[in-house]
Amino acid sequence: MKSIKLNWKAWAGDSQIELELPDNWDIFYSRINNERALTTPEIKKAIRNPIDCQPIREQAAGKVGIAVEDITRPTQLAVVLKTVTRELHNAGIGAENIKIFIALGGHRQMTRSECIAKFGRSFMDTYDVYQHNPYENVIDLGKTSQNTPVVVNREFYECDYKIGIGTVAPHPWMGFSGGGKIVVPGLAGIETLEANHLSAVRGITGAFGEVQNNQARQDIEEAARKIGLDFIVCTLVNGKRKIAGVYAGDMISAHRQAVARGQKMYASHIIGQPDVVVLNTYPEDSEILQAAKGLNLYHATQSNIVKKGGTVILMSACVFGRGYSALFSPGGRLHLASKAQPGFMGENKLIMFSPNLNEFDCRVSFPIEVEFAAKWHDVLSTLKRRHPDGGKIAVYPSATLQIPEI
């Protein structure tokens, strides 16, 4: 027997999973440019020498708000936060004047153990950590030029100096995540969350992996300027979820440099005409609501990533199960609008493989035509039935990060 070995379970052990395949399958991998992890001094240097703005220690004053991404995103932020808070202390700002805002958007709140894993124990023992609620404690700042309401966390808005920290990864509509997205939708009210996620319906255009002339990206950046985001830290991670790039400074300039690096770092060769494609969602494999990102690569290639009539296997550990979204979970405002519609795979077959889900969990995001498998031998049974002679399998180990090579 042959086997596929892949990284698995971000934030829950970061282990590997090995899956057996019959000998009549030929396996091909397409990986991201797996750059080395930055050293702690390199991370500190990037933050202390920002792009197109003054260092934190020279401009921060008064009460400071730091918006940070939640556990559904891949970066472990302890070193970044230690450096940022040290810079604030060097500016004469004590811990009592620093407040941390977990930019949940409409996601569930994090547990303390998750916060320790994400931000570090010493950080959690020192600072006031606030978890955003999109329904309460918000302020209306009007609308953007594209008519998006700007309703944002009131306490963050009232801070004198505002910092945002988040991962830059490919995004199907905003081009790439990170930058101003940490506050819109990260710290937005439910009205803004809804409008932001319905931007296509309102005629605001965007594209996967592109930020130039991206109206959706421009809209959130206009909102972030209105909110007053002073400083941004953008991180890039490699295939092992280690920080491989840090770009800090002006919200636009730092983000664009991070994107330019990400476009090279995440570029992946599209393996031609395989019978089967495996899309592994690590390092964003915590829940099914995030797992759908693994299909971005499929859609970006207009389904040419696999032969017509082929099989796509979407893999996700989903250790947090269904996850939660105020918009997209059952009962949420956009649940039905966000759910994949019947026929979206065309002639191809999609199998959702996750040992930590059941059939009902799968239906939160996918129609009945998508086959669910909690056990790998069920996947093998389907492959044997659909491809009795074996064939060619293309494996994308970090599908949520990968973009087509140009």
CATH code (residue 122): 3.40.50.11440
**259 and 310, same domain (yes or no):** no
Tens-digit pLDDT profile for residues 98-152: 999 999 999 999 999 999 999 999 999 999 999 999 999 999 999 999 999 999 9
**284 and 255, same domain (yes or no):** no
Mean pLDDT of the chain: 96
Helix orientation angle between 215-227 and 190-197, rounded to the nearest 10 degrees: 160
**27 and 47, same domain (yes or no):** no
> DSSP H helical segments within 228-368, as ranges?
251-265, 288-291, 296-300, 335-338, 359-363
**261 and 279, same domain (yes or no):** no
- Would you say 198 and 334 are in contact if contact means Cβ atoms under 8 Å apart? yes
Q: Tell me which residue has tokens 């999609």.
A: 350
- Would you say 278 and 352 are in contact if contact means Cβ atoms under 8 Å apart? no
Structural domain boundaries enclosing 252: 40-265
The pTM assigned to this predicted structure is 0.96
What's residue 201's pLDDT?
Answer: 74
Q: Which helix (H) or strand (E) holds 393?
A: strand 391-396
- Would you say 130 and 102 are in contact if contact means Cβ atoms under 8 Å apart? yes
% of residues, the chain, pLDDT over 90: 94
What's residue 406's pLDDT?
Answer: 76
**179 and 292, same domain (yes or no):** no
Q: Residue 127's closest CA among 170, 175, 78?
A: 78
Domain end among 241, 265, 289? 265
Tens-digit pLDDT profile for residues 205-223: 999 999 999 999 999 999 9
User: Dihedrals φ, ψ of 49, to 5°?
Assistant: -125, 75
What's residue 203's pLDDT?
Answer: 84
What CA–CA distances, in Å, run from 130 to 67, 110, 113, 124, 167? 10, 10, 15, 11, 20
pLDDT band at 275 (very low <50, low <70, confident <90, very high): very high
pLDDT(199) > 90 = no
Task: Tell me 370's DSSP state.
Answer: S
What's residue 176's pLDDT?
Answer: 97
What's residue 1's pLDDT?
Answer: 86
pLDDT band at 16 (very low <50, low <70, confident <90, very high): very high
What's residue 315's pLDDT?
Answer: 98
Domain end among 265, 293, 322? 265
What CA–CA distances, in Å, run from 278 to 116, 273, 309, 311? 32, 13, 15, 9
What's residue 47's pLDDT?
Answer: 98
pLDDT(42) > 80 = yes
**74 and 203, same domain (yes or no):** yes
Cα distance between residue 146 and residue 7, in whole Å:
41
Q: Tell me which residue has tokens 């499929």.
A: 298
**331 and 225, same domain (yes or no):** no
Tens-digit pLDDT profile for residues 141-198: 999 999 999 999 999 999 999 999 999 999 999 999 999 999 999 999 999 999 999 8
- Would you say 216 and 161 are in contact if contact means Cβ atoms under 8 Å apart? no
% of residues, the chain, pLDDT over 70: 100
Tens-digit pLDDT profile for residues 210-265: 999 999 999 999 999 999 999 999 999 999 999 999 999 999 999 999 999 999 99
pLDDT(372) > 90 = yes
**227 and 115, same domain (yes or no):** yes
CATH code (residue 381): 3.90.226.30
Q: Tell me which residue has tokens 């290639």.
A: 301
* Number of domains within the chain: 2
